[in-house]
């Protein structure tokens, strides 16, 4: 198995910037460049699948970086964060096949880049929610401070995205993918059986959550992360089991609804605290079940979607 050296690790990190908080729902702005659906050959090996998905993550990031330089649209920033989040999930699905030292270094660098892009994204979502009167109100002075803080966060993010260091890191990442980043024995095994194992494990992770009306906020956050990872696993591997995405919809559609509800709930919690720094007075969701009508409604929506996901037919069982 090939280990990433320090330079290659940095490359991966900068190559695919980020991860996200609940500030992850798209803002209604310009046409975004989402990841192209992944179609894996039925005969693919674990290594071939890993490379194809990693290429998809990198392309999603690069396409949106180019678009961001032209328009500086919030949605392109969001899609760069999604690309990194997808890459991080891919790495976690293959963690036991990766060199531990390389994987740990890469994860730290991804987290760092996520923080830079994520901060700018949080300001975008906060401003949108203030505009929609979901959070706030914030007076004129507070809004001016908010706009100034957003501009600074965007400048920091753009400096990173335009840096020569990023280009070196991207090149190193591509070299690493062209080598053998996974354990050589398991890398040559059929992808389908490994993908089934990943999907089963991610699905089981949702079973331990119950009674969302009273679930602590930290556990709601963990549920959100697990739901995202199952959704990404479905996106990555469903073509190994079904010929059409429609066959996976009974599971994927309620999973999307679960992500949306949990993301909105997370925004209420994290952005309320952030908005307070700019003078907003907004109730928190951190005291269930009486934390406000919207918080209770989002918990109910989340629980309904979760039950539908857990009851749905799992496409990897019948294929």
Whole-number percent of the chain with pLDDT over 90: 58
* pLDDT for the residue 20: 34
Give the per-residue SS3 of 240-274. Answer: HCCCCHHHHHHHHHHHHHHHHHHHHHHHHHHHHHH
Please provide residue 98's backbone torsions phi and psi, each rounded to the nearest 5 degrees.
Answer: -100, 155
Average pLDDT over residues 124-138: 85
Q: Is the pLDDT of residue 283 over 70?
A: no
Beta carbons of 84 and 92 less than 8 angstroms apart:
no
Q: Is the pLDDT of residue 165 over 60?
A: yes
* pLDDT for the residue 203: 97
What is the average pLDDT value for the chain, to the nearest integer?
A: 84
Q: Where are the alpha helices (DSSP H) in the chain?
A: 6-15, 46-71, 74-93, 100-131, 140-161, 164-178, 184-187, 191-204, 217-237, 249-276, 293-311, 315-318
In 113-133, which positions are buried (b, 16+ CB within 10 angstroms) versus exposed (e)? bbebbbbbbbbbbbbbbbeee
Q: Is the pLDDT of residue 214 over 80?
A: yes
Average pLDDT over residues 191-217: 95
* pLDDT for the residue 112: 81
pLDDT in tens, 226-243: 999 999 999 999 999 998
pLDDT in tens, 31-81: 668 898 999 998 999 999 999 999 999 999 999 999 999 999 999 999 999
Q: Name the residue with higher pLDDT: 82 or 16.
A: 82
Q: 253: which 2 tokens? A: 């559609």
Report cis status (omega within 30 of 0) of the bond before 137: yes
Q: 168: which 2 tokens? A: 């070196």
**What is the pTM (predicted TM-score) of this model?**
0.85
Q: Is the pLDDT of residue 190 over 60?
A: yes
pLDDT in tens, 286-311: 444 335 788 899 999 999 999 999 99
* pLDDT for the residue 11: 33
Separation of alpha carbons 275 and 279, rounded Å: 7
* pLDDT for the residue 178: 84
């Amino acid at each position: 198995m090939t280990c990433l050296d320090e330079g290659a690790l940095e490359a991966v990190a900068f190559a695919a910037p980020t991860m996200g908080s609940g500030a992850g729902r798209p803002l209604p702005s310009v046409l975004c460049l989402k990841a192209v659906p992944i179609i894996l050959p039925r005969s693919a090996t674990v290594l071939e699948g890993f490379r194809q998905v990693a290429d998809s993550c990198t392309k999603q990031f690069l396409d949106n970086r180019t678009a961001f330089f032209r328009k500086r649209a919030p949605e392109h920033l969001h899609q760069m964060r999604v690309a990194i989040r997808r890459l991080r999930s891919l790495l976690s699905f293959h963690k036991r096949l990766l060199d531990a030292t390389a994987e740990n270094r890469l994860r730290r660098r991804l987290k760092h880049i996520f923080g830079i892009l994520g901060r700018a994204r949080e300001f975008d979502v906060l401003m949108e929610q203030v505009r929609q009167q979901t959070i706030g109100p914030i007076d004129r002075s507070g809004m001016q401070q908010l706009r100034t803080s957003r501009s600074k966060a965007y400048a920091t993010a753009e400096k990173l995205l335009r840096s020569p260091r990023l280009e070196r890191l991207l090149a190193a990442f591509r070299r690493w993918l062209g080598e053998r980043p996974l354990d050589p024995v398991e890398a040559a095994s059929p992808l389908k059986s490994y993908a089934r194992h990943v999907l089963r494990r991610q699905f089981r992770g949702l079973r331990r959550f119950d009674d969302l009306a009273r679930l602590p906020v930290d556990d709601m956050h963990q549920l959100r992360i697990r739901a995202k990872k199952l959704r990404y696993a479905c996106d990555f591997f469903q073509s190994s089991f079904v010929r059409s995405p429609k066959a996976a919809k009974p599971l994927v559609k309620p999973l999307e609804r679960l992500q949306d509800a949990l993301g909105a709930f997370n925004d209420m919690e994290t952005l309320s605290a952030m908005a307070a720094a700019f003078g907003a007075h907004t109730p928190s969701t951190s005291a269930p079940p009486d934390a406000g009508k919207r918080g209770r409604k989002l918990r109910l929506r989340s629980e309904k979607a979760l039950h539908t996901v857990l009851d749905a037919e799992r496409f990897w069982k019948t294929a």
